[in-house]
Structure 1
Amino acid sequence: MKIVVFILLVCFSFLYSETIWQDGFEEFPNWILNGEFEIDIPQGLGGEHGNPDPAVAYEGLRVLGVDLTGTGSYSGDYETSLGEDEYSAISPAINCNEFLNVELSFMLWLNVEQPDYDHASIDVSNDNGTTWIEVWTN
C-alpha cells in the first residue's frame, strides 16, 4: 500500500470556513508511524508491481508515504502478505470539540493492488484512539 497524503482539516459554518489543522509534513510533527510509513522527500521509487511513486510532493518537499526511501525488501513498494493493521500512520490528536461541520480534506496518491486483495483506509477517532470510524476506503 503506497499512500502519499497532504492533510487539511477544515471547519465550515454558515458564513465562513476556518482551517483547524493542516500538515504538509515539513516540520515533523508527532505522527506515530508503523510498518514502512515514512515522512520524507519522495524519490519516485517502486513500480515493480504497479506504478512508481510520484517524484515530487503535492506541496513543499515532504510527504507521508510507505517505503519512500527504498528501505524495504521491495524498494519503494510495500511488503507482501501484510496483516490488517500492520502499517499505520496516526496523526497527533486534533481537538475539534469547539467546531461543527468538520470536514477532512486530503491529497492522495494511492498505488495498491485491487481492493479485493489490498486495502487502504482513513479512520478517525472521537475518543483518543480507543475506537475508530472509517471515513474513506479504496
Structure 2
Amino acid sequence: MKGPLPAQKQPLTCALLGASVAIVGLHLVCKPLALEAAMHGPDSVLIKGWYLDTDPQWEMEADWAYGVPAGQGGEFFGLPDPTSAATGRSVLGMNLDGDHSGDPGGPFYLRSPVVDCSEHSNVTLRFMRWLNIDWQPYMQAYIEVTGDGRTWIPIWENDCCTDIIESAWSLHEFDLSEFADGQSAVQVRWSHTINSGIWVYSGWNLDDIEFVGTPDSQVACPGDLDDDGLVSGSDLTQLLAHWGTDDPHCDLDGSGAVGGADLAQILADWGVCALP
C-alpha cells in the first residue's frame, strides 16, 4: 500500500532550473539552455518533424488523443494539463480534458509513423513534454524505439518510487544512434500500463516531436574540420586551438571535451577523404 499523500508537493523541474532536459540511458539530466544550441553540432539536420498544427494521424489507443489541452486534471494528484501547446495550439496526450483513466489495463500505445533514417547517423529523438503520472508499479510508462518494426527497445521509463509532477513544458532528447542510424524503418512509441491502486493524474502531453541526425555525406570524414575534403595540418591546428574546451565542432567523439580521442580521429582520417 502507498503511504499518505504529502500535504504539498513542490515539483523540481528542469524548467525551474532554467534548463532543458537530456536523457542518458534511462537517466534524466538537466542541461543549461545556453548550451542547448551547441549540443547538436553544425551538421545536424531535421529528418522528420511533427509540430501538431494539424492532426498527424498517429496510431493511438485508449486515452491517447490529439487536440487542444484544456488545462484540466490534477484535482487530487499532480498538476493539471497545460492550457496551450508548447508551440501552436494542439498536442498529443492522454485525455486532454482531465485526468487519465484509472481502470487497470494496457499497455496502451501512441506510435509514430515509420521514419527513414537510412542515410543519417547520430539520430536523436527530441520533443517537448508536460507530464504528470504516478510511479511504478501503479503506472508503468515507457518510451521505446525500433529499427526493424519487430524488436522494441526501451529508452526511458518512469521511476519505481517517485511520481512525476510538471508545471511547464521542457525539452527532452534521446540518443537513438545505436538503434536508428542507417535504418529505414525507425519508429518510436510511448506507452502506459495502469495497475490496481493507481492514483490518477493528468498524464502525458507531447508537442514538437522531431527526429534529427547527421547526413551520412557529412560524417564520412569527421576529421575534416574545415570541410576542404582533406584531413591535414589545418584541421590539426584547429583541433589544437580548441584543446581542452567543449567546442562541439572539434569534440569529434561527443565526450564534452576536445582531447586525445579527437586527436586520434584526426590521425585516423589523415589524407584525402573518401567519398561516402
Tell me, yes or no, if the aligned pair for 1:39 and 1:65 is still in contact at 8 Å.
yes
SS at match of 1:80: coil
- Normalising by the residue count of structure 1, what TM-score does the alignment of the two structures yield? 0.77
Residue 117 (structure 1) shift: 2.3
Matched residues, percent identical?
Answer: 37
- Structure whose residues are more often helix by fraction: 2
| Distance (whole Å) between structure 2 residues aligned to residue 121 and residue 60 of structure 1 | 26
Does 43-52 or 114-123 show the bigger shift? 114-123
Identify the match of residue 133 of structure 1 among 153, 161, 171.
Answer: 153
Number of residues of Structure 1 aligned to a counterpart in Structure 2: 119
1:50 positional shift:
2.1
Could you list the runs of 5+ residues in structure 1 that have no partner in the other structure?
Answer: 1-11, 71-75
Which of 99, 113, 123 is matched with 1:92 structurally?
113
CA RMSD of aligned residues (A): 1.9
Give the partner amino acid of 1:54: P
Sort the Cα spacing of 1:62 and 1:117 in 2 relative to 1 into closer, same or farther, 3 A.
same
1:112 and 2:140 are equivalent in the alignment? no
Give the 3-state SS of the residue equivalent to 1:100 in structure 2.
Answer: strand
Q: Deviations along 1:36-94, whole A, 9 cap, x unmatched? A: 101100110111232111111001110000010x3xxxxx1111143241x21101111
Structure exhibiting the larger radius of gyration computed from Cα positions: 2
- 1:24 and 2:45 aligned: no
Q: Letter of the aligned partner of 1:79 in structure 2?
A: S
Alpha-carbon separation, structure 2, partners of 1:90 and 1:116: 22
Cα displacement (A) at 1:29: 2.1
Q: Secondary structure at the match of 1:119?
A: strand
Instruction: Find the residue that maps to 1:22 and give its secondary structure.
Output: strand
Q: Give 2:105's aligned residue.
A: 83
Which letter maps to 1:16?
Answer: D
5+ long unaligned stretches in structure 2? 1-38, 159-276
Task: Work out whether residues 13 and 101 of structure 1, in 8 Å CA contact, stay in contact via their aligned partners in 2.
Answer: no
Compared CA separation, residues 64 and 13, structure 1 to 2 (3 A): closer
1:37 aligns with 2:58: no
Q: Measure the CA separation in 1 of the matches of 2:128 and 2:136.
A: 19
Amino acid at match of 1:65: G
Runs of 4+ in structure 1 off by over 3 angstroms are 12-15
The partner residue of 1:61 within 75, 82, 89 is 89
Does structure 2 conserve the Cα–Cα contact (< 8 Å) formed by 1:32 and 1:90? yes
1:25, CA displacement in angstroms? 1.5
Give the C-alpha shift of residue 119 in structure 1: 2.1
Whole-angstrom CA distance in 1 between matches of 2:42 and 2:130: 32
- Shift of the 50–97 alpha-carbon distance from structure 1 to 2, 3 Å rule, reads same
